[in-house]
Chains A and B, each alone.
Chain A
């Protein structure tokens, strides 16, 4: 979702980031230490053989929970109203096309990460997908490659680092973006830079638009991609009916990443 944060764009984002950080600070305070809870008498956690089932490294839990809460508010008052507007304006077939379009652009990311993980089959898959979908698929709006036996094979730099032996590190809930880890957040930033350089290259070399038009197109694409991504995810903060939602999401996120790295 951040894939559009190009180096030169960062300057423009700084005021927004500052505001977000300020709001986060207000939300996440106070982070004072809490006392350890009493445990049920039946299962003594110090007894031999007791291993926590959800033993996840989350040293920044207080902060993360604050961000989690912030994301709920952001979703409710900013993100989801925009997404509903997008879904109202663009019909389902159109949104499918948008999804395909961005998925096609991300084949460069998939190719590079497959390569760095030594997955030659994945590289070949990416090349064929990009070739077929860019041409037969009308610039990536459609996805004939999947029907031709080349289904999407996503890889990102977080996974690549995982394959290289880098552990996930502390669990992190990112503002707006949601569940992540220190490793995956870093990976996300690297992928974002690669993707935006690649996109800018296509726009700069592929068109003879003026600089201001190019900027407008880049920003519109970024916005569209963010809306489309959120539109494809049904998750709602505090919507699962469990008081342990934070724990369950954290656990599922990290397990899922672990499985993806092992694959």
Chain B
């Protein structure tokens, strides 16, 4: 009997062991609601174990010697970026932040730490939609045309690398970016084929937007649907958001009025009846207000700031903010973005501009570019119907599509970080 029990136990254990192992490997990202995933991100227990010791150093440089920074932006007069360097020779990964994000936004810092732990150098660059980039490194002052943005980023990469080249010994160059930075990475990879400064060996595109136009329309709609159009609706919405934000905000955490603004509310208190979509839309609205104002001042276009007005450091900017908070991205597109770029290029039609803002415009290149891999989530909220399938089809075996995670919500998940690091390691 004892013998029999022994065999039975052995059998059970033998059967259980592989099962357990596959359980361990199963992707256990906790949120199935993509909006919740996008806002809450990855709870600590599911995160990759990355050392907190900070290898990241900040640097700054001047991109255009002859550019005069307006007084109102006196505090942002040099382009900032960061470097996390290894002691010895190693590959260097460029990291491009998402919409409105800076080189020190939490997602970027997390990536840099993971890459550092795995033995890579990394240089992080703010999104061309971040005010510091627009002021110092945007050639047009009005970012959004991905091809032009890629040229601007490429220039920054060259100068940034040049300025730190004495501190790092680089074996080869890699590139990655998430969200808008993912889309830009695709265009950067293409640009690099002709410029060949870096000859990127590997490029990883994370949660890209397929069509920028579609993505911003979705984000616009998220805010519009909840807030409504009746008088006073926006103010009462704002009041509610701010109230929840303030009760959750912890003063020991830095304020960042960009991509993750307001998301802090739900890091501590998961919402019962959440207006998650509106929150995402509002966060995006703050980002786009920041961008539109900076572009308006830099280009002297006159969207909200009269083109002949010179703002001083003590002048109020509140009326412009009021206007931009109420400006949807579609309005921005039709009143500023399209007219501005059409004025520079009279034959540019609205439809052609929209086509340019899409990965589909470089589909042939992407299909053949073996060095590019793409990862996204099946439920990414910034993708329009059919776009995940398009990505899956175009990238084929180079695509890794997670079942859940919303828009970039799973980027700190241990499986995601392992995938990301392994892609560059193998």
Residues in chain A within 8 A of chain B (CB atoms):
28, 30-31, 34-43, 45, 48-54, 58, 61-63, 65-66, 69, 72, 232-249, 251-252, 255-256, 259
Contact = CB atoms under 8 A, between A and B. Distances in A.
B257 A248 contact: yes
12 contacts: A34-B316, A37-B305, A37-B319, A53-B322, A61-B314, A234-B252, A235-B255, A239-B254, A239-B255, A241-B100, A241-B102, A247-B318
Contacts of A35: 309
Contacts of B234: 53
Contact of A255 (B246, B258, B304, B316): B246
A244 B254 contact: no
B425 interface: no
B23 to A, nearest CB: 38
Contact of B321 (A30, A233, A247): A247
Given A34-B316, A252-B242, A39 B255 contact: no
B314 A62 contact: yes
A118 B30 CA distance: 46
Interface in B334-381: 335
B290 A242 contact: yes
B306 A37 contact: yes
What 3 A-B pairs have minimum CB-CB distances, sorted nearest first? A49-B231, A242-B257, A238-B75
Contacts of B314: 28, 30-31, 61-63, 65-66, 69
A243 to B, nearest CB: 5
B302 interface: yes
Given A51-B231, A234-B253, A239-B255, A39 B315 contact: no
Contact of A61 (B252, B253, B312, B316): B316
A233 B252 contact: yes
Contact of B320 (A37, A63, A234, A251): A37
Contacts of A233: 251-252
A42 B306 contact: no
B254 A236 contact: yes
Contact of B335 (A42, A53, A236, A244): A42
A127 to B, nearest CB: 26
B247 A259 contact: yes
Contacts of B293: 243-244
A22 B311 CA distance: 24
B254 to A, nearest CB: 4
B256 A240 contact: yes
B272 interface: no
Nearest to A28: B314
Contacts of B72: 243
B107 interface: no
Contacts of A238: 75-76
A244 B290 contact: yes
B235 interface: yes
A81 to B, nearest CB: 16
A88 to B, nearest CB: 15
Contacts of A236: 254
B71 to A, nearest CB: 11
Nearest to B289: A244
Interface in B229-258: 230-232, 234-235, 238-239, 242-243, 245-247, 251-258
